[in-house]
Structure 1
């Protein structure tokens, strides 16, 4: 019987990749976003950046502009994909309820926490694979539009992706757990896909929101994940600006405008604190998810 967590994880991953519709939807989503971002948002970001430079009386090369716009687009795409792909990958948990497979599994002596972690780990592995592929494609895109990354920047980008996938998987596990129909799962997926990019600052920089909304969004962990990606994707661009003689005031203004600098009620948030916030959110979400499974099992026994 499949009582070990390893067997359950293997079973979930196998079913996920066997479902071609679910797998290809998850895989294609980041690629579609890259095409859409590169087609529509890149022109908006480029015009904004050029206008800011012209207003400051600075002249920049097309490569530097491409690196800045590309870094912003790539960080936006990865920030969204790490969460939305996790919601798509985690639909197996809902499908097991619909098909009755979850009931069959729980007939065996499987602890609720073991079953909960098996869904989490299988979703994590599947999402991580897709997001790593997306990151590779994004790096290829940056090499085309303007490359200013070092090996350290790339390593930190992958670390950010890992943390955001951990967060996205934990969040999707908590949200998807109560769902029991295909309609509910589709509705949640649509809402997350449409809204998450806005609340995490991927579609539009938080600096462009109203002051009140900025304060509300500053409480959301995904915001800091997006900022971490921004900082590591654009670090080389800002360093090059300094090498070309850009005043620090202009560089800092640009960092503010693209959310590399985040402020919590007026206080600038350090990168180390962003990591603490994101990791804490991951741990809390996992604990909540496991607790939901344990409580449900206890209620059924009662």
Structure 2
């Protein structure tokens, strides 16, 4: 156990020692929230208002609170996954710089080495994404706060779950990589594409039926929806308090992907949690199997 903890600490310290990697990871949430607030806020606001009947009177604060919650949920859904790919660069660096040769001749078992990378990635990614959550809550506080203490607690749990998902996904993807160039290419692809396939940049309800069906099989879809549910729960409750018709509130909720469907059935938040946990366990088991294989078998 002491060796395992030492490996985790070693990988964490390497992350902090690499100023470029640390800065890029820490600044990513800041850049995202600025870009989202600058370019996506108007798109989200127009989309939201298009689902409000003309006869319904809604305050500017409630509109801004809804848009801010949607933006924050999108940012966290993307950041929790993409940041892990940046943090997990230590695994590839060790192979590229030849450090793994020293580990290979040591008595440390190979699965333990890779578990050290995994848990270091989880801890470092949590640090970055807790910062992202704090920035998002500050932004929501300025625009329109409707969250409760329980909502914030649930958001933290969602964040942990999504970081675990991102960490195990990035660990599997990064495992065969041998150069930092390959890692940079993978990181760029994931950063550019993940937000679309998980429904963060644009609600899945805006896509065609065929694409919606395909995305309903992706676990990231339910991770994003889970954060949206907890981020916007207070907003929907406020709408009901203001006397919004139930069908209007449901229509808004549907348009923001808070009620995703699978095979025509609405997936409730508790099942979204089970889907994400099951995915983490499944991918985690696959990661353990892959890392346990001899190097020659892998090649």
**Which one of the candidate residues 265, 268, 273 is aligned to 1:267?**
265
Q: Which whole-Å CA distance do the structure 2 matches of 1:286 and 1:205 have between them? A: 29
Aligned partners of 1:103, 1:15: CA distance in 2, in Å?
17
Distance 1:3 1:155, change over 3 A: closer
Aligned residue in 1 for 2:225: 227
Residue-by-residue CA offset, 1:5-33 (whole Å, 9 max, x unaligned): 11111110001100000011011111100
Give CA-to-partner distance per residue, 1:247-278, whole Å, 9 cap, x none. Answer: 01010000110000100021000111101100
Question: Post-superposition shift, 1:284?
Answer: 1.0
Match of 1:87 in 2: 85
Counterpart among 240, 243, 246 of residue 245 in structure 1: 243
Contact 2:229 2:258 in 1 (8 A): yes
TM-score, normalised to structure 2's length?
Answer: 0.97
3-state DSSP of counterpart to 2:243: coil
How do 1:187-202 residues align onto structure 2 when only pairs under 5 Å count? 187-202=185-200
Question: How far has the Cα of 1:297 moved from its partner?
Answer: 4.3
What is the aligned-residue RMSD (CA, Å)?
A: 1.5
Taking structure 1 as the reference length, the TM-score comes to: 0.96
Equivalent residues in 2 for 1:112-261, closer than 5 Å: 112-261=110-259
Cα distance in 1, alignment partners of residues 157 and 296 from structure 2:
37
Query: Any conservation in 2 of the 1:112–1:297 contact (CA below 8 Å)?
Result: no
Q: Is the 8 A contact 1:3 1:109 kept in 2?
A: no
Q: Give, in angstroms, the shift of residue 296 of structure 1.
A: 3.2
2:23 is equivalent to residue 21 of structure 1: no
Please report how far the alpha carbon of residue 51 of structure 1 lies from its aligned counterpart in structure 2 after TM superposition: 2.9
Deviation at 1:106, TM superposition (A): 2.0
How many Å apart are 1:299 and its aligned residue? 3.4
Q: Structure 2 regions of 5+ residues with no counterpart?
A: none
- Kindly indicate whether the alpha-carbon contact (under 8 Å) linking 2:51 and 2:251 is maintained by their aligned counterparts in 1: no
Q: Which runs of 5+ in 1 are unaligned?
A: none
